């Protein structure tokens, strides 16, 4: 495993975070065996959220049983729309979500705390002031956003700078080799695709940690189907993956992955992760799997090197490796 440093997080953060938006986490089931295996592999950071069902309870149960809270980096998220409101970025919403999350996680401190969604007509001063206060109270370490546009992040950080406050220092957008052709579930902000090159350049130059969600395009690069087998692909992918990634140009990306993976002696899944981590951005990725063998393969992908020409070829920027 490789690790990175995130400002205001005491522990090194594993480049691959264990994702918990899946079973048995979401139903609050016993995930001890899974988390034990991942921890042994060096996956010491866990990605969860207030709206991932009872995933936080599963993680909290495990940390309490193992007595390892000080060895685990917890990333959780607040302010996701619920059945009552889509405008959940007030101080009341943020603090209420934290109270529930910290209770389920059995901890008084969340290492990385992200706003899960934005409400663009709410002034950026509101979340910046609240999260700074919670940091001062010792409730949260690093804080930032998930699925916020770069424009709003920059505006918030300009406000923080003007008022002597801590800015957002972590962002979790969608990012993968697959182009997200359509918003998967409403509010999924992506930095993939040619139109977002300037956004990626900003992340690269700023060094802000990027925690990619759906880094293998919700299974599009899992290896469960080939680029030529559209019928199996349609059956294997869930409705969100079909909406976001089941598009012709992504099947061409998959075809090129298949060719290059065979040449490099790795899997398509490994190559897609290698593509992600060879980005000039300060990359982390939230990956969900219950298989220690699959996670070990994911970790091995961190050592696969790709040239800029190979990255461009896989991403359809060029049609050759010259």
**Model pLDDT for residues 164-196, shown as the tens digit of each residue:** 999 999 999 999 999 999 999 888 999 999 999
pLDDT above 90 (res 16)? yes
Mean pLDDT of all residues belonging to the chain: 96
Strand partners, 77: 114
The DSSP secondary-structure symbol of 217 reads G
pLDDT above 90 (res 321)? no
Residue 211 structure tokens: 């925690």
Return d(Cα 269, Cα 300) in angstroms, integer: 11
pLDDT above 90 (res 256)? yes
pTM of the model: 0.96
Closest CA to 302 of 267, 271, 274: 274
**Three-class HEC string of the chain:** CCEECCCCCCCCEECEEEECCCCCCCCCCCCHHHHHHHHHCCCCEEECCCCCCCHHHHHHHHHHHHCCHHHCEEEEEECCCCCCCCCCCCHHHHHHHHHHHHHHHCCCCEEEEEECCCCCCCCCHHHHHHHHHHHHCCCEEEEEEECCCHHHHHHHHHHHHHCCCCCCCCEECECCCCCCCCCCCCCCCECCCHHHHHHHHHHHHHCCCEEEECCCHHHCCCCCCCCCCHHHHHHHCCHHHHHHHCCHHHHHHHHHHHHHHHHHCCCHHHHHHHHHHCCCCCEEEEECCCCHHHHHHHHHHHHCCCCHHHHHHHCCCCCCCC
Strand partners, 19: 47
pLDDT above 80 (res 83)? no
Class of the CATH domain delimited by 3-312: alpha beta
Mean pLDDT in residue range 295-320: 95
| Confidence category of residue 304, pLDDT binned at 50, 70, 90 | very high
Helix (H) or strand (E) holding 284, with range, is strand 283-287
Mean pLDDT in residue range 70-85: 91
| Confidence category of residue 287, pLDDT binned at 50, 70, 90 | very high
């Amino acid at each position: 495993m490789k690790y990175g440093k995130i400002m205001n997080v005491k522990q090194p953060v594993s480049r691959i975070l264990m994702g918990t938006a899946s079973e048995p986490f979401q139903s609050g089931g016993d995930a001890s065996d899974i988390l034990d295996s991942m921890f042994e592999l060096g996956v010491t950071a866990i990605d969860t959220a207030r709206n991932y069902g009872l995933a936080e309870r599963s993680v909290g149960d495990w940390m309490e049983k193992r007595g390892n809270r000080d060895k685990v980096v917890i990333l959780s998220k607040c302010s996701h729309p619920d059945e009552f409101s889509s405008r959940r970025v007030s101080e009341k919403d943020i603090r209420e979500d934290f109270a529930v999350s910290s209770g389920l996680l059995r901890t008084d401190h969340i290492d990385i705390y992200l706003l899960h969604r934005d409400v663009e007509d709410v002034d950026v001063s509101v979340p910046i002031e609240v999260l700074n206060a919670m940091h001062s109270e010792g409730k949260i370490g690093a804080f930032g956003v998930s699925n916020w546009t770069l424009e709003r992040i920059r505006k918030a950080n300009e406000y923080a700078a003007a008022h002597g406050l801590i800015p957002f220092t972590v962002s979790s957008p969608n990012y993968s080799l697959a182009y997200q052709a359509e918003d998967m579930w409403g509010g999924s902000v992506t930095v993939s695709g040619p139109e977002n090159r300037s956004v990626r350049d900003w992340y690269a130059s700023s060094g802000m940690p990027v925690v990619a969600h759906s880094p293998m395009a919700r299974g599009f690069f899992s290896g469960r189907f080939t680029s030529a087998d559209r019928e199996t692909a349609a059956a294997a992918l869930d409705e969100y993956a079909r909406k976001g990634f089941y598009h012709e140009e992504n099947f061409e990306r998959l075809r090129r992955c298949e060719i290059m993976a065979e040449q490099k002696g790795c899997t398509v899944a490994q190559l897609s992760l290698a593509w992600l981590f060879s980005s000039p951005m300060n990359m982390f990725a939230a990956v969900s799997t219950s298989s220690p063998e699959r996670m070990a393969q994911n970790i091995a992908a961190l050592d696969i090197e790709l040239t800029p020409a190979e990255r461009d070829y896989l991403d359809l920027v060029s049609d050759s490796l010259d």
